[in-house]
Structure 1
Amino acid sequence: MRHRSEEKREAILEAAAQVFGEVGFERASMTEISARAGGARATIYSYFESKEELFFDAMLKTTAAEFEATHQALESGTENVEEALKRFGHHFLSVLYSPEVQAIRRVVIAEAGRSNLGQLCFERGVQKSDARVAEFLDRAILAGKIKPTNTKIATKHLCALLEAEFTDYFHFQIAAIINDQTINAAVARAVEVFMAAYQVSE
């Protein structure tokens, strides 16, 4: 029974990803999603509390592997903090500024004022990601690599620096050249500034 329930949940997520991808969040119909998943509309609500939760889980399913790889870049230890942060930064920007994830982020921003989708994505996405970065920085402090500091704030500084060269293009929907070369250059500059502020002086 449990196996069948997991299969049904996966079918709903797959159908939801298709519908959200085709018509967006606002126009997506729970009736259409349930029809594609092969079941009644009420069935969806036995797995997901709301359309917002379904959207988040469906989008997470399509990007989970990439985001996990992003945070795995910090699992190599604190021997070389600068290099670990550069690996993280490259994955972070490559995922965040991929066309697919940019589209998802714009939907979330547009819907944030009309529903709890923004809060849901912040709590289940941004905050969880920040916590993993902060844990790495905590380990770096214990290893004597960076100065004792509030790592929650340091995480925000790091992420803001990493995005600094691209965020205006995203917000104003202006085409920009975002590839491995431009990402690597931006990450190098961002990490240099971060380390200048936080690295323990030799």
Structure 2
Amino acid sequence: MKAKTASRRQKILDVAAEVFRETGFERASMDEVSQRGGGSKATIYNYFASKEELFFDVVYRAAEVQLAATEAALDSGEPDLRVALERFGQRFLAMLYSPDVQAARRLVIAEGGRGGLGRKCYEMAPARCLAMLDSFLQQAIAQGKLRPADTAIASVHLRGLLEAELAEKYLFHTLGPVTEADIAAIVERAVGVFLAAYGPPGYLPDR
């Protein structure tokens, strides 16, 4: 019975994601989701108390699994800081520019000002990612791998460098497919700039 319930919930999320992508939050309706899913609106409300809650869960589902993998990629036990940062950067960009997450981000950008959705989604992913980076960079400073710095700002700088080559094209819908080779090259350049700014005194890039 539990498996059936989970399967039904998943089906609703799949259909809702399709409806939100096609119509946007404002024009999407629980009626449309129920019609496409072959169920009743009452069934949807058994799982989700409101359209806002359904929307948030669609976005959460798109990001959560990949975000967890991204966090796991930032390994404080890796002795080579450049390797650790590049591994994280590659996983981060692969997540951010995957089709599902791109679609979810567009929904959040379009609808984020509605009823606190933007803040809720920001806390779910970007803020969580920055907090994780902050903690990692504090450890790197304590180990002498980076110069002393405000790690909250350094975290924003690192994330900004990783996105710098893709973000504007994404926002203006001119971004084509992003390959693994593209990501690897972008990350190498971004981490190089970050380490040039935040590396320990006397740091010389090895590439």
- Range class of TM-score, shorter chain: 0.7 to 0.9
Q: Is the aligned partner of 1:108 residue 2:136?
A: no
**Match for residue 161 of structure 2?**
161
**Match for residue 191 of structure 1?**
191
Following superposition of structure 1 onto structure 2, how do residues 8-87 of structure 1 map, counting pairs within 5 Å? 9-10=9-10, 12-34=12-34, 36=37, 38=39, 40-41=41-42, 44=44, 48=48, 50-75=50-75, 77-87=77-87
**Match for residue 93 of structure 2?**
93
Equivalent-residue separation in structure 2 for 1:47 and 1:140 (angstroms): 43
* Matched AA of 2:73: A
Change (3 A) 1:6 1:153: same
Asked if the contact 1:15/1:37 (under 8 Å) is kept, the reply is no
**What count of residue pairs does the alignment treat as equivalent?**
201
Identity over the aligned pairs, expressed in percent? 47
Q: Deviations over 1:99-124 (max 9, x none)?
A: 33222211111112344222221122
* Larger mean Cα displacement after TM superposition, 7-16 or 181-190: 7-16
Asked if the contact 2:144/2:200 (under 8 Å) is kept, the reply is yes
Asked if the contact 2:21/2:107 (under 8 Å) is kept, the reply is no
Shift of 1:149: 2.0
Q: C-alpha root-mean-square deviation of aligned residues, in Å?
A: 2.6
Change (3 A) 1:24 1:142: same
Shift of 1:139: 1.6
* Matched AA of 1:61: R
Asked if the contact 1:162/1:190 (under 8 Å) is kept, the reply is yes
Q: Deviations over 1:138-176 (max 9, x none)?
A: 221222211222211111000000001111101111133
**Match for residue 201 of structure 1?**
201
Shift of 1:88: 0.9
Equivalent-residue separation in structure 1 for 2:173 and 2:18 (angstroms): 24
Equivalent-residue separation in structure 2 for 1:81 and 1:48 (angstroms): 43
Equivalent-residue separation in structure 2 for 1:79 and 1:61 (angstroms): 33
Unaligned runs of 5+ in 1: none
**Match for residue 175 of structure 1?**
175
Asked if the contact 2:137/2:151 (under 8 Å) is kept, the reply is yes
Equivalent-residue separation in structure 2 for 1:55 and 1:5 (angstroms): 19
Change (3 A) 1:131 1:45: farther
Asked if the contact 2:30/2:41 (under 8 Å) is kept, the reply is no
**Match for residue 205 of structure 2?**
none
**Match for residue 145 of structure 1?**
145
Q: TM-score, normalised by structure 2?
A: 0.81
Unaligned runs of 5+ in 2: 203-207
Shift of 1:48: 4.2
SS of 2:130's equivalent in the other structure is helix
Asked if the contact 1:78/1:140 (under 8 Å) is kept, the reply is no
Equivalent-residue separation in structure 2 for 1:124 and 1:37 (angstroms): 31
Asked if the contact 1:93/1:162 (under 8 Å) is kept, the reply is yes
* Matched AA of 1:95: M
Equivalent-residue separation in structure 2 for 1:62 and 1:100 (angstroms): 6
Asked if the contact 1:78/1:143 (under 8 Å) is kept, the reply is no
